[in-house]
Copies of this chain bind each other. A is one copy, B any other.
Amino acid sequence: MVNVGILGATGMVGQRFIQILDKHPDFEITALTASSRSAGKRYEDATTWYLDDAMPDSVKDIIVTDTDPTEVSNNVEIVFSSLPTENAAIVEPKFAKNYIVASNASAMRMKKDVPLVIPEVNPEFLDLIEIQQRNRGWDGFIVTNPNCSTIALTLTLKPIYDSYDINRVYVSTMQAVSGAGYNGVPSMAIVDNLVPYIGGEEEKMESETLHLLGTLDGSDVTNANFGLSASCHRVAVVDGHTEAVFVELDNDVDIEDIKNTMKNFKSIPQDLNLHSAPKNPVLIREENDRPQPRMDRNTNNGMSVTAGRLRKDPAFENSFKYILVGHNTVRGAAGASILNAELINKTIL
């Protein structure tokens, strides 16, 4: 068993880390950190638990510490980070001197020597770790996963990108409120309403997706070279981001081919049989009105993305459109970092 810690363990994504890691075959939670207000308390006493499933007994008595490497026992090997961006920018490098940091924060994602990875999409970007350690003189390292809405989109685009020439992608999101944290979206903003704006989200989707589908050559990533435009919106859904995707290829489209390409997509995590890897990263629903977030977000423990309404786009040549749903705090956050750690544990440690 590898001892692991969670940085920012009392927040919503921190709780998802705990929920998913409970009874994990390879990882055992032995450290939990939070703000100094919580430090010194039992986790159960420090935390207002927000998830539907009850808090696992195994973490209740762990004493929360400050988010500081000197406070965390050095028999911990991996720390998962769900820290706020500004905080992550300062703290994660400190931890990386001695620990493996699997981070869901955006702070370090776009650093040239920090791998931004979805295991099914670009596992080879982990080669940056060696460069990172050399550059920075660290014994540990940082690996990051993308933004929640990016992950779901990229998992569905990857098999298409590998088999066809993508020309353009437009994506319009309907995102769950949990993505903003427990206090992020006031109910006054969301009852009989929606908010057509999420700060920084469109930029992240546009840059991260092309980066993830890009090519690593030595220490340089060359982005995928198609255009991608996002419009991001918040709706009255607890968990599960829905995205409407329009794709233009360079050549003619056969919908059944596209569908099979998505459906049959498998990659390294499936080959390695990683614990959190779904048998199929992308599922296809055939019903007219699916996927729907409440119905489809939890499929395969929230680690698969469900696509549906795959249809030719009559308005444009070589074009098709579809809808996808992915669980934003599982596949889009905690589960993403954990799958990264599982890949590292199996291939590097």
Chain A residues at the B interface, C-beta cutoff of 8 Å:
12, 50, 52-54, 168, 170, 172, 174, 177-178, 182-197, 199, 206, 227-229, 231, 233, 235-238, 242, 244, 246, 288-295, 297-299, 308-309, 313-316, 319, 321, 323
Chain B's closest residue to A313 (CB) is B229
How distant is the Cα of A53 from the Cα of B321 in the complex, in angstroms?
27
How distant is the Cα of A231 from the Cα of B170 in the complex, in angstroms?
11
Query: What's the nearest-Cβ distance from chain B to residue A314, in Å?
Result: 7
Chain B's closest residue to A246 (CB) is B170
Selected from B192, B228, B293, B299, the residue in CB contact (under 8 A) with A54 is B299
How distant is the Cα of A234 from the Cα of B188 in the complex, in angstroms?
13
Given contacts A186-B187, A187-B185, contact A308 B196 (CB under 8 A): yes
Selected from B185, B233, B295, B319, the residue in CB contact (under 8 A) with A52 is B295
How distant is the Cα of A282 from the Cα of B152 in the complex, in angstroms?
35
- Interface-centre pick from A178, A233, A321 (highest chain B CB count, 10 A): A233
Residues in B with CB closer than 8 Å to A316 are: 168, 227, 229
Selected from B54, B193, B237, B319, the residue in CB contact (under 8 A) with A292 is B193
Residues in B with CB closer than 8 Å to A294 are: 52, 192-193, 238
- Interface-centre pick from A193, A195, A229, A244 (highest chain B CB count, 10 A): A193
Given contacts A52-B294, A177-B187, A186-B184, contact A231 B192 (CB under 8 A): no
- Interface-centre pick from A178, A186, A242 (highest chain B CB count, 10 A): A186
How distant is the Cα of A295 from the Cα of B298 in the complex, in angstroms?
16
In the complex, the 10 A-B pairs of residues with the closest C-beta atoms, listed nearest first: A172-B172, A192-B192, A229-B315, A193-B294, A231-B244, A197-B289, A236-B236, A187-B190, A227-B315, A196-B323
Residues in B with CB closer than 8 Å to A227 are: 315-316
Query: What's the nearest-Cβ distance from chain B to residue A144, in Å?
Result: 23
Selected from B178, B195, B298, B315, the residue in CB contact (under 8 A) with A289 is B195
Contact B193–A295 (Cβ < 8 Å): yes
